[in-house]
Amino acid sequence: MTLSAFLFAIGWPLIMALALLSPAARPILWRMMPLAALPALMLGLLVTDPVSVRGDWFVLGLTLGLDATGRLFLIFTAALWIAAGSAARHWMREDPRATSFGVVFLMAMSGNLGLILAQDAVGFYAAFALMSFASYGLVIHTRDAGARWAAGLYIAFVVIGELILFSGLVLAATQADSILLADLRTAKLSGLAVALLLTGFGIKLGVMPLHFWLPPAHGAAPVPASAVLSGAMIKAGLFGIISAVPLGVAAHADHGTVVMAAGMVTIFAALLLGVQERSAKTVLGFSSVSQMGIIALGLGMGLMSPAAWPAIAPVLVFLAAHHALAKGALFLGVGAWAAQAGRLGRALVTLALLAPALVLAGLPATSGGFGKEALKAALTNGAPVWLPWLTLALTLSGVATALLMARALALVWLTPPEAPPARPEALALPFLALAGLSLALPAIWPVLDASMAAPVLAATPGAVWPVALGAAIATAAAITAHARKIGPRQFVAGMTAPFRAFSSQMSSLWAFKRRAARRVGYAVPRILEARAERWRLGQTAVAALIAAVLMVEGAATLREARITTPAVQLGLPAPEEPDTDTPASAPGTQMEDTDAPRERISD
C-alpha cells in the first residue's frame, strides 16, 4: 500500500471542504457528502495486515499506517461519518449556514481519520488539533445563547487539553528519543509524561472531572454533529491513550488508581446529573460520559497491572465500536423522530430507538452484554484487590445506562426536539443503518478480526436483571412524578377508574340479566298456555291424569292380592282353622244361613 492511498483517505474530505466554498460546486458536493469517508472505510476493509509508509518530504517526516487496533478504529469511525454525512445532507438542506457547517464538518472528519492513520507524534497531534478546533464550528452552529455558551466552554477545554497534550507528547518523545508512536508506547516514560498524556487525552475522552464540556456541546450541536462528537471524536481520546501511553510495559499504580476511581465515579455521577436534564440530547451526552467511565476502568487496570493489558486492550476496542454505533444511532434517531409529522411515525421511531438503547444498556447477547462480560473476565488478570469493586461497578452500570436511556426517550416525547424541514425517510435511513450495525456487531466483529474478537466470543451473554431493574426504577419514578403532578386524589381516582368501570359494567350486565330473567318468567307461562291451547293439551292432560290414577289403583290391587295369598304362591300347606264352640257345618249351609237374614231385611 502506497503513501498516496493513505493521503487520499485523509485529504479527500479536505478537498471537498475547499470545493464546497464554490457556489457552483455546492449542489453536487452536498450530494457527495456521504462519500467523504468512503476511501477511509475501503482502506480499513482492504488492508488486513499491519502496514506502515513514510514520506520524508514532509516536515520532520510523515509516517502513516495501520495496525490491528487502528484498522478496527478506522472501520467503525468511517462508517459513523458516512451515516452522519448522509443525515447532514438532508438536515442542512434549508439551513442558511449550511456551507459553514459542511466545511467544518469535513475538516473535523479529516482530522478524525488522520489521527487514526498517523503513526508519528507530529502527524497525530496535527490531526488531533484539526479535529478539535474544527468541531468548535459544529457546536456554535446555531449561534443562539445556549450554543455560544456551550461553544465557549468547549473551546476552553480544547485549548487547555491541546496544551497539556502537546507538553506530554514532547516530553514522551524526548524520553523515548523518537517521535514514532510505536516507540512511545514501548518506552519507560516518567510518571509526569504519563500523567500529561492521560490528562490531555482524558479531556477528549470526557471522564470526570474533565467532562464539563461534553454534555453541553452534544446538546447544542446539530444532530449529525452530535452523532460524530459522541460516537467518533471522544474515541480519539481512547485511541490516543492506546497509541501513545506505554500500557503493558511498566506499572503506574498511582495513575491506575486515580483513573479507576475516576471511572467508578463517572459511571454513577453522570447518572445523577443526566436525569435532571430537560433535553434528550444532553441526557445522551451524559450517557456518553457514563460509558467512558467503563472504558476508564479498563485503562486504570492496564496502568496498574501491565500483565493484564493484553487481555484488556481488545475488549476496550470492541467497547469503543459498540458505543460509537449505538450512540451514533441514538443521536440520529432523535433527529429522525423530530422529522416525523404524525404520531404513528414517531411511535415507530421510538420503538426503533429501543434497539440501540437496550444494546447500550447491556442487554444479554448484544454487544453491550458481551463487552461488559468480556471486560469482567479480562480484569481478573489484574490486581485482585480492585476486582470486586470493578465487577460491581460494571454490573450496576447497566442500571445507570437503562435509567439514562429511559430519561432520554421520555424527554423526546415530553420536550420534542426541533428539526428542519426534511423528508422523514431520508433521516430515518442512516439511523436505521447504524441501529442495525449495533445489533449485528457481535456477528460482524469476528469477520473483521478473529484474533481481536476472541475475548468477546469467549464471554458469556450477560445478565438481564440490571437492565430490568433500571427499567423498573424508571417506571416507578415516572409514576411517582405523574402522581405529584396531578395530585394524590386524582391519581388514585385515575388508578381505580378501570376497576370502577369494570364494576359498573358488571352491575349493568347483572341488572340486564335480571330484567331478562324477569321477562322470561312472565313470558314462559303465557307461551305454554298458548301452546297448550294450540295443541289441545288440556283434554290430553286430563286423560293422562285419569290413566295415571287407574294405573296406580291397579298396581295397588295386584300388590294386595300378592300379600293375601302367600301360601298359594309359595306352594306351602294352608294353616288349620282354629276350634270354636259352634259345630262345624258345610260351607253351603253356612252361606245359606248367612244369606237368609239379608233377604228378610231387604224385604
The residue-averaged pLDDT of 484-494 equals 77
Q: Radius of gyration over alpha carbons of the chain, in Å?
A: 45
What pLDDT, in 10s, does the model give residues 155-208? 999 999 999 999 999 999 999 999 999 999 999 999 999 999 999 999 999 999
The pLDDT value recorded for residue 551 is: 78
Percent pLDDT > 90 in the chain is: 69
Phi, psi of 142, deg, nearest 5:
-75, -20
Give the relative orientation of helices 280-304 and 253-274 as an angle to the nearest 10 degrees. Answer: 160
What pLDDT, in 10s, does the model give residues 525-551? 777 667 666 665 556 666 666 777 677
Alpha-carbon gap, residue 344 to 424, rounded angstroms = 12
Is the Cβ–Cβ distance between 139 and 217 less than 8 Å?
yes
Higher pLDDT, residue 336 or 582: 336
SS3 at position 342 = coil
Q: What is the DSSP letter of 206?
A: T
Higher pLDDT, residue 375 or 382: 375
pLDDT at 440 over 70: yes
pLDDT at 454 over 50: yes
Percent pLDDT > 70 in the chain is: 88
Q: What is the largest CA-CA distance in the chain?
A: 172
Is the Cβ–Cβ distance between 162 and 132 less than 8 Å?
yes
Is the Cβ–Cβ distance between 309 and 284 less than 8 Å?
no
The cell for 212 is 464539563
Q: pLDDT band at 506, cuts 50/70/90?
A: confident
Q: Could you state, in order of their start, the residue ranges of all structural domains in the chain? A: 1-178+222-234, 251-507
Residue type, 13: P
pTM: 0.82
The pLDDT value recorded for residue 528 is: 67
Nearest to 135 by CA among 113, 153, 118, 154: 154
Alpha-carbon gap, residue 204 to 154, rounded angstroms = 10
pLDDT at 602 over 80: no
Nearest to 371 by CA among 320, 432, 296: 320
What pLDDT, in 10s, does the model give residues 509-519? 888 877 777 77
Higher pLDDT, residue 87 or 504: 87
Instruction: Count the alpha carbons within 13 Å of 120 in the hemisphere toward its beta carbon.
Output: 17
Cβ neighbours of 188 (radius 10 Å):
10
The pLDDT value recorded for residue 478 is: 86
What pLDDT, in 10s, does the model give residues 62-106? 899 999 999 999 999 999 999 999 999 999 988 899 999 999 999
What pLDDT, in 10s, does the model give residues 297-335? 999 999 999 999 999 999 999 999 999 999 999 999 999
Nearest to 326 by CA among 404, 237, 425, 219: 404
What pLDDT, in 10s, does the model give residues 120-139? 999 999 999 999 999 999 99
Nearest to 41 by CA among 15, 64, 67, 73: 73
CA distances from 297 to 2, 199, 288, 301, 303 (A): 38, 15, 15, 6, 10
